Homo-oligomer: A and B are copies of this chain.
Amino acid sequence: MKQSIEMSDEGPVATSPRRRVRKAEAAPNLGVPVAGHGIDVEQNIYQTVFDSVLNQRLAPGTKLPEPALCELFGVSRAVIRKVLQRLEHDRIVELRPNKGAVIAAPTPEETRQIFEARRALEVSIVEIAARCHTAQDLADLRHLLAHEHEVTHNPYQPTWAACAREFHLRIAAVAGNPILTSYLTELMTRCSLIVALYQPIGNAACEHAEHGRIVDYMEKGDVASARAEMGRHLRALEDNISLDRSGSTQTLAQMLNLG
């Protein structure tokens, strides 16, 4: 997670527009194994699964068989296994030895830990950001807030979820520490997993007003209040999570938004 994540609600990123995936015929490769461009393909697959989880097309617990992914993306198992390993390290999937990969399903205890870790991290991030922000940073944040206000009450949940996510990531960008940003990105993705698990209708909203207050405190240079407001904000978010479950009968290809 070196660079910021681009949100796209329309499935795979930068796939050839006329691509038609069919069994055992996907990505013919012309017989020549082109080496060296593997990173793009790998990043593509990773991003597709990542976005699908973020947009809740891939529910926690969904199995991800390697042969199925091979045919869907037209690559060999080695590539798939590499991507799955990255996804496991980012806690997006769980790799059970000899039993295959599934989308991670955080337990209630893990949920508590994830939110606690996120509070610990993001409170420090907003403190750094409150100390070192520029006028341009504040303008950008205000712009995001306006956009956020527009999509409030949008019936399509992933849109404003992406919007809220972008706000938090932007604050991390203001703080200017890519390490902290990568940790936050990982934790926010796991929060999305939790929302997918426990919020079928998807209404664990970031309160818009709280976001606004955070920027206000940052602008006033009130570091302590910015910290406190972020802490309250994240605690309220955690409290909004109720506990129930949902299922789905879509195919893997549909959930990945392919073909």
Contacts and interface: CB of A to CB of B under 8 A. Distances in A.
Contact of A39 (B89, B97, B120, B128): B97
A127 B118 CA distance: 14
Contacts of A97: 36, 39
A178 interface: yes
A interface, by DSSP: helix, strand, loop or mixed? helix
**How many identical chains are in the complex?**
2
Interface stretch (A109-117, A196-204, A211-219): A109-117
A109 to B, nearest CB: 10
B128 A116 contact: yes
A159 to B, nearest CB: 28
Contact of A36 (B89, B98, B187): B98
A86 interface: yes
A46 interface: no
A114 B179 contact: yes
A26 interface: no
Contacts of A125: 120
A177 B117 contact: yes
A80 interface: no
A180 interface: yes
Given A39-B97, A86-B85, A180 B128 contact: no
A86 B89 CA distance: 8
Given A36-B97, A97-B36, A98-B36, A117 B180 contact: yes
